[in-house]
Amino acid sequence: MALVRVISSDGAAFLVSQRLAKRSGKLKTEIETFRKSSDNSEAQPEIRIVTIRAEILRLVLQWLQQHQNDPVLPANQNEQDGRGDAEMGQSQWDRDFLAPMDLGIVMELILAANHLEVKGLLDITCKLVESKITGRTVDEIRTAFKLKSDFKGNEEEQTRLENRWCVEN
């Protein structure tokens, strides 16, 4: 089985089958570029992802492995409203996969899925973050994301007034 070495920003290497890696648009392009530039067709490609750390990369690969037999979602499917895909692809496994995660990690996953072009993972993570923001009050958002307001003085009030530029007319 042809393998590929994927190296995270902090130097951890993952040995992945090429078939699995090619389910990520980014990795697929990288492997093809490597094939073109390399003389030896048997050489094992090595891809360094400088923006994703090991912990996150492991999660992405884990998700890919679970979903390796799913049909590949076209990248631009349902782009107009960006909704709907997530329900289609979300399984019980996905819910269990995301449930214990900190929202900070989920957001890192969004960026990683976006960078590696893994549409299915991007959909379910975005959906999760969206559900924590849509229709919530500011305080609820802060609690969900474990954030504290760091506005000083009347800064928050000022921001509230600035928002009126968008809603007043």
Partner 1 sequence: MNGSTNGGTATYSPEQVFPMEVWGEIFRYLLPRDLESCSNATPEWRELLAPKNASFMIPLAFPTLASHLTLKDLLNCRLVCRNWRNGVDNFFQTHPVHYADVADHERNHIHCPYGFRQFRPVDLLKMESFLEENDENPRYNPFTMTRTVVYREGERQAITLDADPVENQILRVRAAFKRFLTMCGSEMWHCWMIFTDEDTTQEDIYMLTQSYLELMPNLKTLTIGVLGENFYRINLTQQSMSPQLMRLVQSHPLPVLKDLVKLNVDSVPTILEIEMLTKHSHLKKLFWKSNTNHSIQDQETPDEEREMKQLEVLRICPFTRGNMAKLNLPSLSFNLRVLDLYVQNEDLGSVFRSVSRFRQSLRYFNLQFCGDIPEEFSENLDLPLVETVKINAQFSKVRNIDFLLTCPSLKMLELATSSSVVRQRDVVLPWVSLKKVEMKYHVSPSLSKWSDRTNTSVTVNSETIIQFDGWENCMYSSNIWELLPKLEVLKVFIRSDIVEDHDESVSDMHIWWVFMTTDFQRFIYTKKQQEVFLEEERPNEDSVDSVD
End-to-end CA distance of the chain: 61
Q: Mind giving me the DSSP string for 112-129?
A: HHHHHT-HHHHHHHHHHH
Decide: is 164 part of the binding site for partner 1 (CB under 8 A): yes
For partner 1, the binding residues in 31-70 under the rule CB under 8 A are: 50-51, 53
Pinpoint the alpha helices (H) of the chain: 18-21, 25-37, 54-66, 85-89, 92-98, 103-116, 119-133, 138-144, 155-167
Decide: is 90 part of the binding site for partner 1 (CB under 8 A): no
Using CB under 8 A, which of 83, 87, 91, 93 touches partner 1?
Answer: 83
Using CB under 8 A, which of 16, 47, 122, 124 touches partner 1?
Answer: 122
Decide: is 99 part of the binding site for partner 1 (CB under 8 A): no
Decide: is 136 part of the binding site for partner 1 (CB under 8 A): yes
Decide: is 126 part of the binding site for partner 1 (CB under 8 A): yes
Tokens read off for 102: 């900190």
Tokens read off for 161: 């007034």
Q: Give yes or no for a contact between 127 and 90, defined as CB atoms under 8 angstroms apart.
A: yes
Looking at the Cβ atoms of 70 and 102, the one nearer to partner 1 is 102
- Can you give the binding site for partner 1, defined by CB under 8 A? 9-10, 50-51, 53, 81-83, 102-105, 107-108, 110-111, 114, 122, 126-127, 129-130, 133-138, 141-142, 145-151, 155-156, 158-169
